[in-house]
Amino acid sequence: MSLRIALLIPLTIGFAATAVAQMKPDVVIEYRRSVMTMVGWNFGPMGAMVKGKIPFDAKEFAKHAERIEFLAPQALEGFAKGSDKGAETDAKPDIWTNFDDFKSKLNDLIEQSKTMSEVAKGGDEAKMKEQFKKLGGTCKACHDKYRAEMHH
Amino acid sequence: MSLRIALLIPLTIGFAATAVAQMKPDVVIEYRRSVMTMVGWNFGPMGAMVKGKIPFDAKEFAKHAERIEFLAPQALEGFAKGSDKGAETDAKPDIWTNFDDFKSKLNDLIEQSKTMSEVAKGGDEAKMKEQFKKLGGTCKACHDKYRAEMHH
């Protein structure tokens, strides 16, 4: 392991440090945008079903829920220290000054997405819709505090 | 279901048609780029381990392998018909004129990523490295034929 990587490890956040420490900020930013895009891609049709904009399809809903459950724990790596700038980003600098709070909000997403996926496997439409609101609440809580106005 | 959505369904490719049919091409393109970015993010450290650029860590390797296994089947939605233009993209128009061939190459990725994840769970470093080459081969086969020169 090179000295440069070894020195950077303390700046990373408790995962594959050797690999991520080598990433440039713009690459980390592109990654986190990608995680959010994929979460949103799956969240969208669930929301459309809940709002009755498209027919409710429990199987499709559960598929999207499972994908979000799997994606959510992959977001944290996208907020590695040092990635507050380096490319266009909606992530507010407050993320890194309040990292424990940010991480706790991300954990809320992880937990509620697990529950969402479990509930969706049960197939009870009313329960699914109820849990979907809790899931959406975790997105909103974090975005309200830590996401700047969308640029796009 | 609106008439517009109903008419668009035949143009989509065998999944949550109602939802994706409503997506604008630029949204689909951003989604597929996101899938590829996430796959690449996970593929990178695996490659670095295989090449000895970072220490081999079977557990980390398996984590990344499992993520690619889960991401790979999510790529197809990103190549919905009509998304050949609408935003900057490296996807060649040939994808949609040879869609069966493209889909078969994408299936190779899905299959090899499944095998990669299984092999990685076994923890045998030599087998993992061997299977990693097969996995990388499926990326290359598709990129050589269907990806334009990278713009970035």
Q: What is the pLDDT of residue B4?
A: 40
> Are the Cβ atoms of A38 and B19 closer than 8 angstroms?
no
Report ipTM (2 d.p.).
Answer: 0.86
| Mean pLDDT across B22-30 | 91
| Mean pLDDT across A40-61 | 97
- By the CB < 8 Å criterion, does A34 face chain B? yes
- By the CB < 8 Å criterion, does B93 face chain A? no
> Are the Cβ atoms of A35 and B31 closer than 8 angstroms?
no
Chain A closest CA to B37's CA: distance in Å? 6
Q: What is the pLDDT of residue B21?
A: 55
pLDDT at B64 over 90: yes
Confidence band of B2 (pLDDT split at 50, 70, 90): very low
Q: DSSP 3-state assignment of B24? A: coil
Confidence band of B14 (pLDDT split at 50, 70, 90): very low
Q: How far, rounded to the nearest angstrom, does the alpha carbon of residue A116 sit from its chain's CA centroid?
A: 14
Cβ burial of B120 (10 Å; 0-12, 13-18, 19+) is buried
Closest residue of A to B5, CA-based?
A54
What are the residues whose beta carbons fall under 8 Å from the beta carbon of A125, sequence distance 6 or more? A56, A58
Q: DSSP 3-state assignment of A55? A: coil
- Report yes or no: B9 and B18 within 8 Å, Cβ to Cβ: yes
Half-sphere exposure of B48 (CA within 13 A, CB side): 21
| Mean pLDDT across A50-70 | 97
β-sheet bridge partners, residue A91: A147
Over residues B134-146, the pLDDT tens digits come to 999 999 999 999 9
Q: What is the pLDDT of residue B13?
A: 39
Q: How far, rounded to the nearest angstrom, does the alpha carbon of residue B102 sit from its chain's CA centroid?
A: 11
| Share above pLDDT 70 across residues of chain B, in percent, rounded to a whole number | 84
Name the one residue in this structure whose structure tokens are 């700038």.
Answer: A85
Q: Which tokens in the block code for residue A124? A: 């009870």
pLDDT at A152 over 90: no
Over residues B81-107, the pLDDT tens digits come to 999 999 999 999 999 999 999 999 999
| pLDDT higher at A151 or A123 | A123
Q: What is the pLDDT of residue B150?
A: 65
pLDDT at A122 over 60: yes
Over residues A136-149, the pLDDT tens digits come to 999 999 999 999 97
CA–CA distances in Å: residue B7 to residues A18, B1, B10, B11, B12: 50, 10, 7, 8, 10
* Mean per-residue pLDDT over chain A, rounded: 88
Q: Which of B38, B44, B45 sits opposite A34 (nearest CB)?
A: B38
